Amino acid sequence: VRTLRGRLFLYLGAAVLLSTVLTIAVAALLVRGHARDQAQTNLDRQAGAAVALGGRGGQVRRTAADGTVVAFVRGGRLRPLRAERAEDLLGDIPGGDASGRVEVGGRDLLYAARSGPEGRVVLVRSAKLAAADWRPFVVSLLLAGLGGAAVALVLSALLARRLLRPLGRVAGATRAIAAGDGDARVDVEGDDELASVGRSFNAMADQLAASREAERAFLLSVSHELKTPLTAIRGYAEAIGDGAVAPQEAGAVIGAEADRLERLVRDLLDLARLDQHAFAVAHERVDLGAVAERARERAAGQAAALGVALEVRVAPGATAVGDDGRTLQAVSNLVDNALRATPAGGRVVVDAKPGRITVRDTGPGLDPEDLPRAFDRFHLHAKYGADRQVGSGLGLAVVRELARAMGGDATVASRRGEGAAFTVRLATRNT
Ligand SMILES: Nc1ncnc2c1ncn2[C@@H]1O[C@H](COP(=O)(O)OP(=O)(O)O)[C@@H](O)[C@H]1O
Ligand SMILES: [Mg+2]
């Protein structure tokens, strides 16, 4: 049996059968005493009848030495006992009229003794109950069994329904979501384990819908970012054709826009590869002081052109576990951002400490509500996107993914108007 429904019904069916058998067995135990009393009463009645017939009636011939008729009853017929067994028996039962149970020669017997004018009759029978003794009770026993079975069946059916219905709902909602209905949710009733399955399912569906929405928004942003430079390139190309613009000027603009496209595509590829964990990331000891110095060398020209001072500070023991090249890529990205955000005359400091590099600037900083989402794709870019000449809007997202790929993370601290401090944190020792 493969399905849960089938297995459940199998188990419940077994439980019903078992409880029915148990009901009948218990009822039989309870009835047994009664059946034995009944057997004794019957024996007494037979003994009475035999006395009335004078122990004769053609049925009983042989008797004990004192003239008592002693007979064994089986299947409603009387069989006289052999003389020596009859003596044995008479030694074990009281005189006069008596009824009861006695053990003779290892046999458990019921007896009934009755005296009349014609003499005494003693009837015995096996104390074991035979099928005939049960017959009067069969209907009651069957009724008890059927009643037990009915109760067990109803309870089992209710239980099966209670178990299977919520699961069926979750299965239905799962199919609906797989078929593309992102709004499918499960109605949750109660507060048990099955309700918690439903709630977890709904939470998962919400999560799925949110991430689908995020993907859609991302795709829209990417399309927008691709369209803007392409529109500019097309415009300048047409202007050259019309002779409306000097080729040198158009060439410079087209080159700059192509740069933007190139950067965007490069960041997109980086993100996609980081997402797939397809990026080769080393876990080696990295000299963060050296990384900071290389980032400064790279950006020195840009800093001079923008009129921003660029400094490196290295604390003792400024090392971490990570990938040299990827760390430089992340820090360079942060330095580039900081230089562009900082007005001329400001200062950018690259601060290397054990396990972290912080890039601090004296630029405009960020609003508090932006801090939790600063590393989300296109988030800051969309909000403060004025300095668009070089940005792709994905730089900070790439920084965070790089840091995480190295087992670390990226964080930001800032106050509006007081500059920003972006930090790449890495492990200080191999784990
Ligand atoms: N240090 C900073 N100070 C103020 N604003 C910043 C800083 N770093 C980044 N930003 C803002 O965040 C935006 C997104 O940065 P980023 O993700 O690197 O994309 P890009 O640099 O390609 O525009 C920037 O355009 C800028 O407006
Ligand atoms: Mg950037």
What is the block-wise mean pLDDT of the chain (431 residues), using blocks of 10 residues? 81 88 88 89 90 61 69 82 81 87 87 86 89 85 88 88 88 92 88 90 93 88 88 94 92 91 90 82 93 96 96 96 94 95 95 97 93 92 69 89 94 93 93 67
Would you call 117 exposed, middle or buried from its count of C-beta atoms within 10 A (0-12, 13-18, 19+)? Answer: exposed
Distance from C-alpha of 258 to C-alpha of 229, rounded to nearest angstrom = 7
The CA–CA distances, whole Å, from 221 to 214, 215, 381, 391 equal 10, 10, 10, 13
Task: Report residue 226 CA to chain centroid gap.
Answer: 43
User: What is the model's pLDDT at position 390?
Assistant: 61
| 309: number of Cβ within 10 Å | 13
User: What is the model's pLDDT at position 58?
Assistant: 46
Q: Is the CB of 346 under 6 A from ligand 1?
A: no
Pocket test of ligand 1: the residue of 265, 358, 380, 394 to mutate, having most ligand atoms within 8 Å of its CB, is 380
Residue nearest to atom 25 of ligand 1 (CA): 381
Pocket test of ligand 1: the residue of 271, 336, 337 to mutate, having most ligand atoms within 8 Å of its CB, is 337
* Ligand 2 centroid distance, CA of 218 (Å): 17
The residues, any chain, with a CB within 8 Å of residue 9's CB and separated by 6 or more, are 160
User: What is the model's pLDDT at position 192?
Assistant: 87
User: What is the model's pLDDT at position 63?
Assistant: 62
Q: Is the CB of 338 under 6 A from ligand 1?
A: yes
Q: Closest Cα partner for 29 from 106, 129, 100?
A: 129
* Ligand 1 centroid distance, CA of 380 (Å): 6
Distance from C-alpha of 90 to C-alpha of 102, rounded to nearest angstrom = 11
User: What is the model's pLDDT at position 137?
Assistant: 86
- Counting ligands in written order, the one closest to the CA of 266 is 1
* Ligand 2 centroid distance, CA of 329 (Å): 11
User: What is the model's pLDDT at position 136?
Assistant: 83
